[in-house]
Amino acid sequence: MDFELSKEHELARNLFREFAEKEVKPLAQEVDEGERFPDETVEKLAKYGFLGIPIPKDKGGQGCDTLTYAICVEELSRVCATTGVIVSAHTSLSCDPIFKYGSPEQMEKYLRPLATGEKLGAFGLTEPGAGTDASGQRTKAERVGSGWVLNGTKVFITNGGKAQVYVVFAMTDRSKGTRGISCFIVPSDAPGFSIGKKESKMGIRGSATSELLFENCEIGAENLLGEEGHGFGVAMSTLDGGRVGIAAQALGIAQGALDETVTYVKERKQFGKPLAAFQNTQFQLAELKTRIEAARLLVYSAAWAKDHRKNFGFDAAMAKLFAAETAMAVTTMCVQLHGGYGYIRDYPVERMMRDAKITEIYEGTNEVQRMVIAAQLIGKLKKA
């Protein structure tokens, strides 16, 4: 067993760190305060190949692995969680399911431009009445002629309105429950498809979170992703992968807050000495660092598991649960260690604490992760 990152992963981290510091950090406060999607950053992410990291080269991607991708999301989120989630939603929730379930034609038509970064991707599962209970889908797809017609509304869709390719779930046979859900690839220019309300959020405010409206939206038969009626499985397996991305995002937020705080406590003086000289500060920092390192091991091992094991949902759920709770606890304590300055916008820990909260909610709440972990642990119970 070896806990050292390989040389290529170390060099990739240097690359992501340098890019994040130079290109992403200078915009972080402004995109947050202005709720502005950083289009110029996405252009650069595409140019340098950050939008197809784990996708094979022959499909237009970078031919790296999930660990490299996780380190990328971590380093971007360390300075700007908005940028982290743009990459995560695009890669895990849009590229990944098309790579896993797509036909050769779908890979060429949709995956290649996503993996090269020519197009941005999004994932439409959540509905007003179907959040944690994703099986309660109201959006329906009906066969009309040789294609499909979609009707319904999706909400809280990351990259909504900015993406050109949407992986969307809809009921094709309500009588079959979850076995009646199918998955479709919807291009943004499909007739009858439009973007509704853009949400105003507590954190990750630069990321686009929008409603998707389908009003007799027409797509071809070839836009069905995977088999008819197998959509729920596509959604669940995609979310397993997505959790690695969000766990990496949470890890990055926590590390970013700790780095800011270590700098701050060495400079800020009270009672004639730097805050770092007080044992309370030292013990708190030690606690935060230890939790972050534990989270990092879980996140990296889940990323590794995704590439090496058939079932990694258990690993991904534990990584996301622990990393999200770590991000929330670490950012909260970092604000506390900043005192009054932690509560104002001049210091980034204020934003980081707001950004951390969403990692406990999206792509499965902490409670959903606990359900996944417990289900794996206990298995099916016999009926009493």
Partner 1 sequence: MKIIVCIKQVPNTNEVKFNPETGTLIREGIPSIINPDDKAGLEAALGLKDRYGAQVTVLSMGPPKAEEALREALAMGADQAALLTDRAFGGADTWATSSTLAAAIRLFEYDLIITGRQAIDGDTAQVGPQIAERLGIPNISYAEKLDVQDNRVIVKRQYEDRYHLISSPMPCLVTALSELAAPRYMTPRGIFEAYREREVRVITRGDLEIDDANIGLKGSPTRVFRSFTKGLKGKGQVVALDPTESAQWLVDRLGEKFII
Task: Please give the positions annotated as active site.
Answer: 363
Which among 53-61, 104-112, 287-295, 334-342 is the span making contact with partner 1, rule CB under 8 A? 53-61
Cα 287 to Cα 211, 330, 331, 334, distances in angstroms: 40, 9, 12, 12
Q: C-beta of 23: minimal distance to partner 1 in Å?
A: 9
Q: Does the protein bind partner 1 through residue 48 (CB under 8 A)?
A: yes
Q: Does the protein bind partner 1 through residue 123 (CB under 8 A)?
A: no
Which among 10-18, 138-146, 298-306, 350-358 is the span making contact with partner 1, rule CB under 8 A? 10-18
Q: C-beta of 4: minimal distance to partner 1 in Å?
A: 14
Among 12, 24, 183, 185, binds partner 1 (CB under 8 A): 12
Which of 14, 216 has the CB closer to partner 1? 14
Which of 53, 257 has the CB closer to partner 1? 53
Which of 68, 77 has the CB closer to partner 1? 68
Q: Does the protein bind partner 1 through residue 73 (CB under 8 A)?
A: no
Among 27, 38, 49, 245, binds partner 1 (CB under 8 A): 49
Which of 74, 211 has the CB closer to partner 1? 74
Which of 8, 222 has the CB closer to partner 1? 8
Which among 5-13, 121-129, 225-233, 359-367 is the span making contact with partner 1, rule CB under 8 A? 5-13
Which of 57, 308 has the CB closer to partner 1? 57
Q: Are 321 and 373 in contact (CB under 8 A)?
A: yes
Which among 58-66, 135-143, 145-153, 358-366 is the span making contact with partner 1, rule CB under 8 A? 58-66
* Full 3-state SS string of the chain: CCCCCCHHHHHHHHHHHHHHHHHHHHHHHHHHHCCCCCHHHHHHHHHCCCCCCCCCHHHCCCCCCHHHHHHHHHHHHHHCHHHHHHHHHHHHHHHHHHHHHCCHHHHHHHHHHHHHCCCCEEEECCECCECCCCCCCCCEEEEECCEEEEEEEEEEEECCCCCCEEEEEEECCHHHHHHHEEEEEEECCCCCEEEEEECCCCCCCCCCEEEEEEEEEEEEHHHEECCCCCHHHHHHHHHHHHHHHHHHHHHHHHHHHHHHHHHHHHHCEECCEEHHHCHHHHHHHHHHHHHHHHHHHHHHHHHHHHHHCCCCHHHHHHHHHHHHHHHHHHHHHHHHHHHHHHHCCCCCHHHHHHHHHHCCCCCCCHHHHHHHHHHHHHCCCCCC
Q: Does the protein bind partner 1 through residue 308 (CB under 8 A)?
A: no
Among 5, 15, 277, 373, binds partner 1 (CB under 8 A): 15
Q: Does the protein bind partner 1 through residue 18 (CB under 8 A)?
A: yes
Among 26, 57, 142, 222, binds partner 1 (CB under 8 A): 57
Q: Does the protein bind partner 1 through residue 46 (CB under 8 A)?
A: no
The site for partner 1 (CB under 8 A) is made up of 6-8, 11-12, 15, 18-19, 48-50, 53, 57, 61-64, 68, 72
